[in-house]
Structure 1
Amino acid sequence: MWMRPFGLDWEGYFLSDEGEEIPPMGIQPESGRGQEEPAVEIPEELPILPLRGVVVYPLTVVPLAVGQPRSIRLVDDAVLGRKLIGLVASKRPELEEPMPEDCYAVGTLALIQRLLRMPDGTMRILVMGLERIRIVEYTATQPYLKARVERHPETMTPGPELEALRRKTAELFARMVELVPGLPDQLGAMAMAVEDPKQLAYAVATYLRMSLQEAQEILELDDVAAKLHRLIALLTREIEVLELGRKIQSEAQAQVEKMQREFFLRQQLEAIRRELGEVDEHQMEVEEFRRKIEEAGMPPEAKREALRELERMAKLPPASAEYGVIRTYLDWMVSLPWNRTTPDNLDVAHARKVLDEDHYGLQDVKERILEYLAVRKLKQERAGQLEELETRDYIRRAREGAILCFVGPPGVGKTSLGQSIARAMGRKFTRIALGGIRDEAEIRGFRRTYVGAMPGRIIQALRRVESRNPVFMLDEVDKIGADWRGDPASALLEVLDPEQNREFRDHYLDVPFDLSQVLFICTANQLDTIPAPLRDRMEIIFIPGYTETEKFHIAMGYLIPRQLRENGLLPGEITFTEAAVRRIIREYTREAGVRNLERAIGRVCRKVATRIAEGATEAALVDAEDVPRYLGKPLFTEEEITHRVEVPGVAIGLAWTPTGGDVLFIEATRMPGSKGFVLTGSLGEVMRESAQAALSYVRAHAKDYGIPERFFEQSDIHIHVPAGAVPKDGPSAGITIVTALVSLLTDRPVRPDVGMTGEITLRGKVLPVGGIKEKVLAAHRVGLRAVILPKRNEKDLEDVPEDVRQAMQFVLVESIDEALQVALQDRRESARAVSRDGTRRSRAPAKAKSGRSSR
């Protein structure tokens, strides 16, 4: 039993069996007023036909399609009898055979007026709703649903309000008919002629677009006035939607008409120009591009592609979308520096002078640039002789550019060094920042199939600089990301490979571009995050942090003059003494570079500039005791290391950080317990393993150091590394942890002037570690006099500045025993260091800057 409406054609009319014309809305011609239709006798058991997605109302005529076998049988049985059936809507339209509980209780008593059998076995019936009924009880479910029903008449109170509702409903329905293209215009007039409010309500509901629940709600409302109220609200909503749709359609049609009008006007304009003998603008643009392609100096493949696209553009109308895409592509092609270069200044002495003017120190970088210029100069001078030499390498072509990578902490001048190199060589300089880039298309460009496609940053930068041999800086190459859009680091493999970048293909251009003459300079703070294949293509040059002496010379020679210019001060209006600069370095900055130092100098200059702007005339002399007056209280207060290590169990370690070297204190303590071992201070997995190895070594050699062999069974050990918010990792703290444990368990303090670094083994060997220069500079900066280093790191001391080597003592060890002999004080010496009041005094005080603010 399944029903659905069919052929609900707004313009169609149906014929009853007698041939009488029935309007589509099912509005029957009214008999004379005051005459009532005789009540239809309802059988005791009425066949019930569930409807799918439709509600049939009384006083309306609706066509239905019948396809289910038991529904067909129901119709056949009904036609043989009185042709009366009950029509109820299904609550769940998706069910193929709804049961009684799936149907609404309120429906319509209907009369089958016409039946048409189709060739596929289905039926088409025309039913007329008679009156509203309520199902009292289902009496059968097979072969189809049957039920006992009762009349459920509507209530209607005649009066002015009901008449007003009828007129408003008819008026809104007529307005809706005007907005729906498929509805005949006379339908609105017919609705206006209906005087029975109930018949009008059901007729309008038949044609109104609404949900099944809303349609059933109209049927179940008892009061005719309530039905009209609900219909007015639904009609108002539908009219608003239809008016908005008509507005949108009108605007779209107006736009199409405008485009057609413009097209016809252009065609007429072209015809007029041809008659007058004037040149077509479209043709002029094509010829202009043709001239630029010839003058661009493109390689053969790029030239063929450009001309092919130009021929396509010449055949397209300028108003087409493809025309704009091709025009943009050709504009990129003709504006690239295919054969434009800047001549190199190969004077090595001039380059050395420029590099020294711009930067202090950095000898490794300067020497590498001078070597590059020297090789270029020799190749240019001996070009003829080199061509005469026989070569057996027919695969690899001569390399013209260089690919360097400056690695160092922030603020040491990596980026500015690239600008200085460009000035020394006489080349143009361009830079792109790679930090945070996650899309591979940022490097290689977007394919032209995408809307708004453009070349990658490499090609864009070359277009801006208008040269194919610039100094090209790829800043922050260690901070490239990757996600579902691709890996930019992988895209850089072709850019930074001397064997491949001669024919670099951007996805947008899709033709090779020669990058072999570009001097690529990458910058990074650390190498660990750079993929190994990319790292292998670059020549790594490390730029370590500056010493205090180097910072002083940089400040006096570069930073102070620059800050004088930036703050509008003349030479002589402010003078910094050596003591003042060194105090700023020690007490107001702690960094590997000089950025914070320059900011501090700038603050002093701005305060002096403010005083001069207010009318002061005397020159300012900034001495050491004047620094707090300009910069406030010191950011890094001085404290004696002695106070940190006077208690046994504290040792001084040296660490490497991306911003340079640093000093860290490793503290050990014990408490009653049973084999507990606690590590705190944001330690990484490698450092935790080093601590475990250190404890195992001390336990294994407890007897050698005079420690009770069973000490660990009755004690808990806690090792802490202060600055707990800073993550720490690496194996180089192994020797420091052993020293702290032995100091704790033997009650022998560590010498306050000794720092140490080195990896340990369970056999007591001390293995080499990295970052020796940075660690030694950190020890010198805080005032340590001696550093314990692995024996195999002796070669790394050559990188330490000469003045630091002369000021410090380096103890090279191969075993832990050697390190402990130097690091620990003996008991008699420790006892002499204790004063009468119980406080411990160091015989070799050394001062270090604390990382805590003095506030």
Structure 2
Amino acid sequence: MNSEIKTLPLLPLRGILVFPYMVIHLDVGREKSVQAIEEAMVDNKMIFLATQREAQTDEPGVDDIYQVGTVAEVKQLLKLPGGTIRVLVEGIARAKIRTYEGLEPYFKVEIDQYSEEFEKSSEIEALMRSLVYQFEQYVKLSKRIPPETVVSVVNLEEPGRLADIIASHLALRIEDKQKVLESIDIVERLEKLCSIVAKELEIVELERKINIRVRKQMEKTQKEYYLREQMKAIQKELGEKDERVAECEELREKIAKAKLPKEVEEKAIKEVERLEKMPPMAAEATVVRNYLDWVLSLPWSKSTRDRLEIKAAEQILDDDHYGLKNPKERIIEYLAIRKLAKKMKGPILCLVGPPGVGKTSLGRSIARALERKFIRISLGGVRDEAEIRGHRRTYVGAMPGRVIQGMRQAGSKNPVFLLDEIDKMASDFRGDPASALLEVLDPEQNSTFSDHYIESSFDLSNVMFITTANNMWSIPRPLLDRMEVIQISGYTEEEKLEIAKRHLLPKQIKEHGLTADMLSLSETAMRKMIREYTRESGVRSLERNLASLCRKTAKRIVAKEATKVKITAQNLEQFLGVPRYRYGVAEQYDEVGIVTGMAWTEVGGDTLVIEVTTYKGNGRMTLTGKLGDVMKESAQAGYSYVRSRAGELEIPGELFEKYDMHIHIPEGAIPKDGPSAGITMATAIASVLTGRKVRHDVAMTGEITLRGRVLPVGGIKEKVMAAHRAGIKMIIMPLDNKKDLEDIPGNIRKQLEFKLVDHMDQVLELALLEKEETNSLSVPEAAATMDNPPFTTGVEHQEVQQQGGTQLPS
């Protein structure tokens, strides 16, 4: 192929490429380009056209322009308003830039112009025929090129011209067109273009298939719509209505309005289509209807707005509950964070405490403070996993689990959800509901909670879960790990008094149809009722007694015995009978072998009297009072410690071999177990063996080791409050439990003397009186001789059983 060297002005093209034999209009607006056109018009109307590599470049440099372009002749020139020139150019021949001779005021380049010379061979002929055939197929499928173009292309004899014209008509990228333009060799150009056209043909064929599929789908939808409308019109004319069709149409409308997640919406529509094809009386049709009813009634996107005013929330919580500082503080913190961070996962709080302290009602108050819906479900006795996750729809009578049922009842996706009695769940062959609850209460999982019945993920991350329990140790460890535990240990006497005045008494007066002026209850009477008629951590028993007063008042008013009833401490027994409990000291006297301990129970703290006596025998030890293994081991450890310290305590060694020992804890029908009575039993054993009396106003708790170390125990707050109720003045407790004193109310701390010990010697020094010491309340001391060792009398046993919260015989 021959070439000719020429020097021409260069016109850079943006987003377009000109082939030889191509006639096209160009709009020229850039200053350099205008100068190049003007120069070409002055000279011989010849100009070199080369395309920019990037169309966005406004001021292209030498490296921004392709080397191969087209020599063209300016056929026509028209100046437009704004300085733009429209030119009509015709491509003449390919050319390649040798050098740039000038860059200002326009590009001037020296080029090699190629002339196309060829000898027609069978290979070229075959390539031309293949190219023409592919081009014809392309035109038929694409519908973008007029059919007349094919006629003009078929009649071309020059292979180079054929390739250039076809390339100019194809909708190719600039890079692909440039490759064709740069192919100087005709055979190479034809092969490259055949490959490009074949690829474009595949794309066009694929587009056609997609269009046909879309059109068919549209036609099907339109046809179904048309037929349904026809059916409606026919039924309307006949005055008939197909119930099944009407039901399915109604369901479709509900699905469209429900704003369901895409996955759920698709599943619901599929179920409607299944329902449409079923006979109306088919058993499965009822299952599908129930399923759709559940899906459509769930709050997939509905939520309530939180009240984020902290002062208002504090006022509501204080109005509903007296005390409970920690839970209230946690709720206020949650509100503060919600105000700062709009998107926050709902917390999972676990309120742990004895019955009657207000755990459930606190959840209701939290919902009122947040202005959220409140849902409560009880988990006591639940042993079937399906209660939480629901049944699969294959079962007869299948239903969603309690969580989904609660969400439907709430009608919003962010309620306050109370899971009551979480520590009373059980497990059997039907599954472990506690494990199923992990997905509900795990903040990382509950955004995609899956119920077996619904079979679609439901978002529980906005729900505020509150769980309640009497005993934290009954909750499975993995479940407890997901929750934030807030201990509610019980109320002090002053708190009970305020709760009764503010909440319980007005509530009972209203429920019994009375008015405030019909019943007058003095504060001293209320305090006496708390001390002598109730013995509890909560206020349920107190409320029952107040209800009893209201009933008796209502009877007197209805019988016209009185118009107003005034109850004082003096006449309280007329309404409630003889006091059930003794209020005051746990023991009235300093005695040998009787020690007051402190115990934790599921219903709060309590005092525990431990009695020890000795009698002639052969050194055996008897334990009674329905004690558990831990208590028995503590007694053995205490006995071993005292025996190891016999010399220091001045205990004759013969006592351990010639006398049996009986350790008894009254209220023998009640099971007792736990690691907190070690030092109490050791003190009682030391007292009876040394003949030294134990201070009656002292209560103690702590575990003992064989070396006499005192180990920490739990439930300090509950135990201390129980001791305070019993009138104890001094508390002996382990040194390691010092941190637990912060949980005890300040007014109780002031009334008690706390002695923190870390060794049993300190306990004995504090609790045991010297033999010569007497107390104003002491009974005559028993003889402490070898033949008659110290022991507690039957009278004293009876007296002991009447102490420490035990009900008096009627």
What is the TM-score of this pair, normalised by structure 2? 0.67
Which amino acid is the alignment partner of residue 337 of structure 2? V
Q: Secondary structure at the match of 1:612?
A: helix
Instruction: Specify the alignment match of 2:806 in structure 1.
Output: 851
* Aligned-partner SS, 1:605: helix
What is the aligned partner in structure 2 of residue 411 from structure 1? 356
Quote the offset at 1:837 in angstroms: 11
2:248 to 262, 274, 286: 286
Whether contact under 8 Å (2:583, 2:726) holds in the other structure is: no
SS at match of 1:558: helix
State the 1:638 CA deviation: 5.1
| Counterparts in 2 of 1:715 and 1:415: CA distance versus 1, 3 Å | same
2: CA distance between counterparts of 1:491 and 1:362?
A: 31
Residue number in structure 2 paired with 1:725:
669
2:540 aligned with 1:585: no
Letter in 1 for 2:426: G
CA distance in 1, matches of 2:279, 2:247: 12
Match of residue 703, structure 1, among 641, 644, 647: 647
Is structure 2 residue 607 aligned with structure 1 residue 652? no
| Counterpart selection for 1:342 from 293, 304, 310 | 304
> What is the match of residue 268 of structure 2?
306
Cα distance between partner residues in 2 of 1:640 and 1:782 = 5
Q: Is 1:400–2:345 an aligned residue pair?
A: yes
- 1:805 match: 749
> Quick one: percent identity of the two aligned structures?
54
Other-structure match for 1:153: none
Pair 1:372–1:577, CA change in 2 (3 A): same
**1:545 aligned onto 2:490:** yes
What are the Cα deviations for residues 516-566 of structure 1, in whole angstroms up to 9, with x where unaligned?
111111000001111101111111111011111111111111111111111
Looking at structure 2, the residues matched to 836 and 296 of structure 1 have their Cα atoms a distance apart, in angstroms, of 85
Aligned position for 2:517: 572
Aligned-residue offset at 1:274:
8.8
Residues 372-521 of structure 1: pairs in structure 2 closer than 5 A: 372-380=334-342, 399-521=344-466
State how far apart, in whole Å, the 2-side matches of 1:593 and 1:836 are: 40
Deviations 1:68-108 (A, max 9, x none): xxxxxxxxxxxxxxxxxxxxxxxxxxxxxxxxxxxxxxxxx
Can you list the C-alpha shifts for 1:249-278, whole angstroms capped at 9, x where unaligned?
xxxxxxxxxxxxxxxxxxxx9999598274
Pick from 593, 601, 610 the counterpart of residue 555 of structure 2: 610
1:152-191 → structure 2 map (5 Å cutoff): none
Kindly indicate whether the alpha-carbon contact (under 8 Å) linking 2:591 and 2:696 is maintained by their aligned counterparts in 1. Answer: no
Q: Check the 8 A contact 1:634/1:854 in 2, yes or no.
A: no
Distance 1:501 1:272 in 2: 50
Distance 1:507 1:454 in 2: 9
> Aligned equivalents of 2:368 and 2:738: distance in 1?
38
Contact 1:580 1:627 in 2 (8 A): yes
- Partners of 2:587 and 2:292 lie apart in 1 by 73
SS in 1 for 2:682: helix
For the residue of structure 1 that corresponds to 2:773, the secondary structure is helix
Q: What is aligned with 1:262?
A: none
Higher deviation after alignment, 603-612 or 478-487 = 603-612
8 Å contact kept, 2:586–2:803: yes
Match of 2:681 among 737, 762, 769: 737
In structure 2, the partner of 1:686 is: 630
Q: 1:371 to 1:639 in 2, by over 3 A?
A: closer
Q: Find the aligned partners of 1:608 and 1:274 in 2 and give their Cα distance.
A: 69
C-alpha distance in structure 2 between counterparts of 1:832 and 1:467, whole Å:
68
Q: Distance in 2 between matches of 1:324 and 1:642?
A: 70
Tell me whether 1:296 sits opposite 2:258 in the alignment.
Answer: yes
What CA deviation, in whole Å up to 9, does each residue of 1:569-600 have, x standing for no partner? 11222121111001101111111100010110
Shift of 1:345: 0.6
Amino acid at match of 2:706: L
Q: Residues 138-287 of structure 1: matches in 2 within 5 Å?
A: 273=235, 276=238, 278-287=240-249
Alpha-carbon offset, residue 711 of structure 1: 2.3
Look up the equivalent residue of 1:814 and give its one-letter code.
D
From the superposition, tell whether residues 616 and 303 of structure 1 become closer, same or farther in structure 2 (CA, over 3 Å).
same
Aligned-residue offset at 1:280: 2.1
Residue 169 of structure 2 corresponds to: none
Residue 403 of structure 1: CA displacement? 0.7
* 2:611–2:665 Cα contact (<8 Å) kept: yes
Contact in 1 for aligned 2:440/2:446 (Cα 8 Å): yes
Deviations 1:663-704 (A, max 9, x none): 111111111122211111111111111111101111111000
Contact 2:591 2:778 in 1 (8 A): no
User: For 2:345, what is the secondary structure of its paired residue?
Assistant: coil
TM-score, normalized by length of structure 1?
0.64
**Superimposed CA distance per residue, residues 120-141 of structure 1 (whole angstroms, 9 cap, x where no aligned partner):** xxxxxxxxxxxxxxxxxxxxxx
RMSD: 2.5
- In structure 2, what is the equivalent of residue 775 of structure 1? 719
Runs of 4+ in 1 over 3 A off after TM superposition: 269-275, 637-643, 830-842, 845-850
Consecutive unaligned residues in structure 1, runs of 5 or more: 1-268, 381-397
Partner of 1:59: none
Q: Is the 8 A contact 2:534 2:580 kept in 1?
A: yes
| Compared CA separation, residues 376 and 835, structure 1 to 2 (3 A) | closer
| Distance verdict in 2 for CA 1:751–1:833, change over 3 Å | same
Offset at 1:718?
Answer: 1.2
Alignment partner, residue 321 of structure 1: 283
Query: Residue 341 of structure 2: SS of its match in structure 1?
Result: helix
Could you say if the C-alpha distance between residues 301 and 820 of structure 1 is closer, same or farther in structure 2, counting changes exceeding 3 Å?
A: same
